[in-house]
Structure 1
């Protein structure tokens, strides 16, 4: 009994102290309270946190999208950027007989190109091309014979290379059928109403456009064009280019080297027919596909020329068969104001086989006669030169962004009346991004 009493006497004070710290009645009243209070509800907490996380994720996604757009070259919602790098290595046997800097040594060259496209209305387009390159001078820049399809020399006098604005123009619609183009740096064939050839050159620029001669031979200059394309395949375009519009001689003056083209074409999915008339004053930028006898002196302001380029192409419904696409061209040219040559002509034939061994591969064979003099003025004599040029290539893609093109090419009497015979080989690799 004495022990029990002592124990109770110790428990009583402890209970009193505990009741002072924790009021059981207040806790009971709290749990029974009918008042509205801020209590921790698991569903509410999860919902609120989820909303906050969603907002944060949205902001992060937005930042990532902006970063991705910037990395992909989109400076804003209407500007895109893409580009390519071309590396080439090759040599030309007989190249030392071509031009003052022709050579037979093995040369390596490159081009780096960036394309910017901006739309302001959704239907228009401002195009700017930036380009740098080096190494083409010598083996792969000789006209007609060895000028590479990608050749671009932008080296400075100290041997360095630099980016330059290589092309610039603005295209906009006029109604449903008309499209206008103006630009300070453009070539006439970018403004044509229809594509005159489906042959893709593998090595030589001479074979571009079904023969880069009389009507289509171009020089980057101030230009403007208007084209009409009907729903039935009929199309017509008018273009004008001026070399001196940016200089003191002025646009389309008597002192201006200029060129006016008019193309009429009919194009369907499988075939095309066109005729292009060209009126030129002091213009010889068609030297990509002409002998030196023909184009030397044609750039004098006292020399005018009239040219007609006939083009046709056909392609099969399906690729991967033994039937190739076929492109042909025939050019004629007449001069006034020359003391030696009155007329000239040339032709082109090109074949392409696509998807033969793997998707997106291509076999190409092209040949033709570069434009040569066919009629002399009274009192002058013609040379007996009979120029001929050809190329064969195979291109394939290891992946969607890389294209490899080994090619061989050659010709006879390709430059002047002397025996300028050549044989060349070049390996080109294109990286697109």
Structure 2
């Protein structure tokens, strides 16, 4: 080591390490300090007396079991600023003198200087490219500033979904006499057999004030006043899952506020909310990755008695312990809600409507569920006031009131029926961990029981209804992201009457294939069959039960934005 280097290292070490040095006594300092060892170590650290150590394995007294082995390896192999003594040892257990610490620090500073010089060279070499990037960043900052200044809201996000439906239906079976000029089959085809092309569009505004709450506003419009929406019967088995008709007028069909209450409870309240959106858990994997077709298999989950999708003024709460279990493990969900019918809840006349009145057509819905994304089980119950609807069902099951009437005519006067309904459902599903020949399996079964006073019993003979479904879904069919689905079941039908025999049961089936064109466009061709949508009304005047079904085919295109 050159003399001027030794003179330089010594004062630097004394200045840098002064706070470190307090030993037991001057005699101890003198005994521990060997200036020759310091010189040797400093020379080695500077790379003058030995070749620079490039691997920690070059030290004969350093072993992988040493507690500081990894730290020493990083200093040697990454930074190259640690060396040993001329005899190839590191002497890791030996107390370090301040001179040795200064020599080690000096060697590391030399390497840092080299790195700094290399960075300067790279900055000079890529000066033009860095200038271009800086200009782009400045431009992006300016554009972000403009967007922030003109944005709709700092708390609200807009998303949309639009469904185009093109297709037609055809009645098949007996052309029995219905009292008109044409038979039942010909009459259907004459009124509803034409090809149609209609749409449904939904614009969702999601607003959050705290990051955990949600003010949800949805605007919706559609022109499905055709066989796929309500005609010829409101909520009949052929209604599509996306049906909607406003005669092309945009209206608000959802408006509610959802917020957490502690870590496990969530509350939802609003003038236009839906009971099935407060269930907390959907025990079905049917059409997951695809697009549902019939409403009975879609939003109603095959049990329209409980999952009747009642929308109106209401409130609800649901509990979940999902945050208390490990990710992916099954968890419990418990929910309860009250919803008055749309049109009744905002009516201030208690004789025709009202909120939580006798004429609210109210629904109290509860569900308990247990599961995760791969499998799940759920049991549901709904209490329906008079007038509360059963969603999809046969013509005979739904009747003119689509539920239990609040009044009946007795001796020319309207009398209250005190009518209500009690519906229950069970659901379960299972999905394979990976896509393959095995599909996901979803099933649901439910029943509804009708009650009322003597006036009601004397004027109706319907006592109980039931429904069920089984749905299969295959994912990544032919191409990744595409899905194939099939479902079969019986829409809500009457199976128990006060007197006589009822033959109301019929079957519904659908088959579809969803093709994912892009991340935002999906095309779903589908066919379906309704074996007996008129139910017990499928008979002639002589009481013979006839066969009349409806075949449907369509192409549904979904745009998400």
TM-score bucket (shorter structure): 0.7 to 0.9
1:350-406, Cα deviation, whole Å (9 max, x unpaired): 0000112112111010010112111112xx223213210000000011111110000
Residue aligning to 1:26: none
Instruction: Please provide the CA RMSD for this pair.
Output: 2.6
Distance 1:66 1:422, change over 3 A: farther
1:39-66, Cα deviation, whole Å (9 max, x unpaired): xxxxxxxxxxx99xx89974x5345225
Q: Is the 8 A contact 1:85 1:432 kept in 2?
A: yes
Distance 1:389 1:55, change over 3 A: closer
Residue among 278, 287, 311 paired with 1:191: 278
- Report the structure number with the largest CA radius of gyration: 2
1:204-250, Cα deviation, whole Å (9 max, x unpaired): 11112421510011232112110000135111000111022200232
What secondary structure is seen at the aligned counterpart in 1 of 2:535?
coil
Q: Is the 8 A contact 1:325 1:351 kept in 2?
A: yes
Residue among 296, 301, 310 paired with 1:210: 301
Gaps of 5+ in 1: 1-49, 156-160
Distance 1:139 1:317, change over 3 A: closer
Q: Is the 8 A contact 1:291 1:372 kept in 2?
A: yes
Mapped to 1, the partners of 2:225 and 2:171 lie a distance apart of 16
Residue aligning to 1:341: 462
Residue among 467, 481, 504 paired with 1:360: 481
Mapped to 1, the partners of 2:214 and 2:147 lie a distance apart of 23
Residue aligning to 1:315: 431
Mapped to 2, the partners of 1:284 and 1:137 lie a distance apart of 24
Say yes or no: does 1:393 pair with 2:512: yes
Distance 1:140 1:426, change over 3 A: farther
Residue aligning to 1:76: 153
Say yes or no: does 1:416 pair with 2:535: yes
Mapped to 2, the partners of 1:305 and 1:66 lie a distance apart of 57
Residue among 184, 194, 217 paired with 1:128: 217
Mapped to 2, the partners of 1:256 and 1:84 lie a distance apart of 31
1:52-88, Cα deviation, whole Å (9 max, x unpaired): xx89974x534522555799xx622221011122111
Mapped to 1, the partners of 2:297 and 2:137 lie a distance apart of 55
Distance 1:357 1:70, change over 3 A: farther
Say yes or no: does 1:265 pair with 2:354: no
Higher strand share: 1
Residue aligning to 2:252: 165
Q: What is the number of equivalent residue pairs in this alignment? A: 371
Say yes or no: does 1:229 pair with 2:347: no
What secondary structure is seen at the aligned counterpart in 2 of 1:207?
coil
Tell me the TM-score normalised to structure 1 length. 0.80
What secondary structure is seen at the aligned counterpart in 1 of 2:367?
strand
Distance 1:203 1:101, change over 3 A: farther
Distance 1:99 1:277, change over 3 A: farther
Distance 1:307 1:283, change over 3 A: same
Tell me the TM-score normalised to structure 2 length. 0.62
Q: Is the 8 A contact 1:87 1:429 kept in 2?
A: yes
Residue among 61, 64, 76 paired with 2:143: 64
1:25-40 correspondence to structure 2 within 5 Å: none
Query: 1:133, CA displacement in angstroms?
Result: 1.1
Q: Is the 8 A contact 2:240 2:295 kept in 1?
A: yes
Query: 1:179, CA displacement in angstroms?
Result: 0.1
Mapped to 2, the partners of 1:360 and 1:305 lie a distance apart of 42
Mapped to 1, the partners of 2:489 and 2:241 lie a distance apart of 16
Residue among 146, 150, 154 paired with 2:246: 154
Mapped to 1, the partners of 2:149 and 2:255 lie a distance apart of 22
Mapped to 1, the partners of 2:423 and 2:340 lie a distance apart of 17
Distance 1:68 1:367, change over 3 A: farther
Larger CA deviation: 337-346 vs 138-147: 138-147
Distance 1:362 1:66, change over 3 A: farther
Residue among 496, 505, 508 paired with 1:375: 496
Larger CA deviation: 104-113 vs 415-424: 415-424
What secondary structure is seen at the aligned counterpart in 1 of 2:237?
coil
Q: Is the 8 A contact 2:276 2:310 kept in 1?
A: no
Say yes or no: does 1:86 pair with 2:169: no
Distance 1:136 1:64, change over 3 A: farther
Say yes or no: does 1:304 pair with 2:392: no
Q: Is the 8 A contact 1:212 1:286 kept in 2?
A: no
Mapped to 1, the partners of 2:334 and 2:240 lie a distance apart of 30
Residue aligning to 2:119: none
Mapped to 2, the partners of 1:284 and 1:179 lie a distance apart of 26
Residue aligning to 1:251: 355
Q: Is the 8 A contact 1:259 1:283 kept in 2?
A: no
Query: 1:100, CA displacement in angstroms?
Result: 12
1:247-278, Cα deviation, whole Å (9 max, x unpaired): 02321111221100110111123211110011
Higher helix share: 2
